[in-house]
Amino acid sequence: MILLRLKCIFLSLLLNLTFEGLVFAETIKVVTEELAPYNYTEKGVLTGFCTEIVQAILKEINIQGDFQSMPWARAYDIALKNENVLIYSIGRTPQREMQFKWIGPIAHANNYLFALASSHIKISQLADAKKYQIASVNADIREQFLESQGFSKGTNLQSSVKYQHNYEKLKLGRVDLWAMNDIAAYHLVRQAGDDPEKILIKTYKLQLDESRYFIAFSHKTSDKIVDRFNIGLENIKKNGILNLIKNKWALENVD
């Protein structure tokens, strides 16, 4: 009888270990958007500063990632509603805090209302911007912030699904201001063959509660998986991999 009980206990432990191994060996769905240089597709391959950080964490903890790039609103909705879905690079706000489980931060992002230097637009307080047309991206952190401050689509927000569309609209005079983070804005302007220091001015810094990018999981995701990712991030900080990625991209990560 004692021997039988010991066998049962052993089998139970073995099954638990096997289950844990399967959990951590499974493929995680990873969603993101085209936001260079953080995450973007080049020659059919998803790359970028934050993409490489996520890939390094996955390798560190031996989990496969099924990466998909899509418009932000769609990625956000998928991550919000489904189990075992990772989303990056995502801003952390009070509105989003309880909707996701967080890893990071992994990168900085200072957000501004940009204008063309030739426009001579000056904004001393956010309310001054309500008389202008502002380019935003559907459901992104800047659009959500502006909506929380009384701005609205169809009145003073022109919402797009792609960031590059907004710079094009600004150049063509279809909007007066562009809500964007500085690193991504400058990257897009350079990609278009322009000099951001000459063509853009920062008219107003958006006072978001958090100015950094994170990795996040849908709230339905197991805490064990989220904890594993947090440990993985700490490991790549300690073993120097994160610094290698930082030096490669010449971007400031968050220690």
Give me the number of domains the chain comprises: 2
Domain shared by 215 and 105, yes or no? yes
Averaged over 222-227, what is the pLDDT? 96
Picking from 207, 194, 196, 200, the residue whose alpha carbon sits closest to that of residue 177 is 200
- pLDDT at position 38: 97
243 in a domain, yes or no? Answer: yes
- pLDDT at position 209: 79
Domain shared by 124 and 194, yes or no? yes
Whether 115 and 200 have beta carbons less than 8 Å apart is answered as yes
254 in a domain, yes or no? Answer: no
Report d(CA 220, CA 59) in Å as an integer.
23
- pLDDT at position 20: 45
Report d(CA 79, CA 214) in Å as an integer.
13
What does pLDDT average to over the chain?
Answer: 90
Q: Which band of pLDDT confidence, cut at 50, 70 and 90, is reported for residue 163?
A: very high
Averaged over 223-230, what is the pLDDT? 97
The domain boundary residue, chosen from 205, 222, 239: 205
Q: What are phi and psi of 250, to 5 degrees?
A: 55, 40
Q: Where residue 240 sits, what CATH number does that domain have?
A: 3.40.190.10
The two three-digit tokens of residue 151, written as one number: 């701005």
Q: In this predicted model, what pLDDT tens digit does every residue of 62-78 receive, in sequence order?
A: 999 999 999 999 999 99
- What range does the domain containing 77 cover? 2-109+211-249
Report d(CA 159, CA 143) in Å as an integer.
8
Place of tokens 């001015």: 201
Domain shared by 95 and 183, yes or no? no
Q: Is the pLDDT of residue 249 over 90?
A: yes
